[in-house]
Structure 1
């Protein structure tokens, strides 16, 4: 069985070597899975031979009242094995090397079997039925075969190493081409054997990340290469990638981040404390100037008041004084008389010609002898 697996691996390794050399669709085969790309030597044989049974990558998400599970089955040594216990329409079709199966379960019904929602052949050599008349499917659109391609994506400040992309084609689902994109990332600290992880699925492209030390290429040129241009923060645009949302925009000044509510509350408290502290300091300064005015300020206020004597006058008018006098009458009985305004008869002989004016100030008084003994 070991020999059969290695024999099935040879076409894939040969295809990979040819793709690495050209970076285009494969039409020729080589002898090994060790290849050279952009003056770098790669050896992915330990990765492809590391798991005879293939890889299974799965992740689940909550979709109340169910739980949806997405499972990828991957093989680099030939088509995936099929089971006789599962119906043909609920398992990967013949010739599929990479396949996605989506199922869901109801957690409250543990006795139920998972329900299959999708079976998507991502890559492989499929045998599709011929299209019927009036069908939207066009036979020329499907290109059978793995048709592997490989390319190096320059490093950025985030990745630090060139990323090796290996594409496997040949998938088809609901009149749409499918392919797998394995992104091999150089990781010197990875513990082998490593496994792939899913990144995203968009518009028929299923992307995986594979961190391994075998993705660290060995540069062949002995002479020091010319210094590369400084890596850009923005990676090269991939037409297969899904569009970015507005919050994913990396242009400085246009990024809208979600702020932490605790951080916002802390900033509000700090701003309020600053306002209160400023107000308290202002009030203390005003109170100090009122109770302990400087000599220059005191002189200025005194001179200003002398030139504006009306500031010290009472603002109470004659009508208010008359109203106040009428309000005092109910206090006395009918037989009593207010001697504060109308003098007592016992003292009528003393200064009978002196009257109490309505204006509290002696200025501009009608009586000429106001305040005098005559």
Structure 2
């Protein structure tokens, strides 16, 4: 049975008033999200990933506004909602967010358990006794040891990884249909990162929610996403299934992101990094925003914005290299045969784990 579309954004633009200037943070972005799938939104800091998803929960800063386009959740037009009270039935209850710093989401002077119980009482209309038991169950489900004993602890008594698990528990206490994970593992070490990603996958399978995963780390994407949207300078410049983005990328910016994967680095060599810096979003951008940083840029890239070319039914890329008149461009050598390289790396990692466990 085909999955239903749960959220759409069509030609969405977002601007911020900063003193006497206008910052165009999102420029004509469109995407579609289906039930129970995981969409990863990838790009460097400042590309617009978090700003875009804040429009789905009405959490733009006071100086920001949607200046064009439409956002729909089922048949509700979210882009029409203006006041906080208009968002009450959506924010948290239908669409919840996990942020990268759990301490900004937790109240330091309230116990962990009471913070989860409050959400359950508010959104699920349970009694205090029922809410406490449900909170303990959620703490247990998200991997908090001795959950009943730790119900009355305060946030400072938990490690960073455990606090992040509590933030996930609070988000799930609302029983949302969409869970936005905004760089939820950035501040954690690699081992804890892997545990949190596994936890989100397990909970998604159990609770059947849809996930939007925001990250700058394409390595994370490979293990968690169904679809990927690559953002640059406030636009989606490539989108497709995770396999299409990893093994048949079309945009030079996506090539650069993949080339900088730490897993592809050779010991003793410098790790590739994208040259240059992103453009200022205070100024009008002419042509392809990535052109000044791209070794593949043609004259047209500096003068005319490329359309979104269709590569397959599910794969689209916004680059003049896909125009039939463009010269053929070879992907960087480091990401050629990427599938074979990733399979070999995975086999080597599993071999090392086997030696360690043995």
Q: TM-score, normalised by structure 1?
A: 0.20
Q: TM-score, normalised by structure 2?
A: 0.20
Q: Which structure carries more relative contact order (alpha carbon 8 Å, separation 6+)?
A: 2
Larger-Rg structure: 1
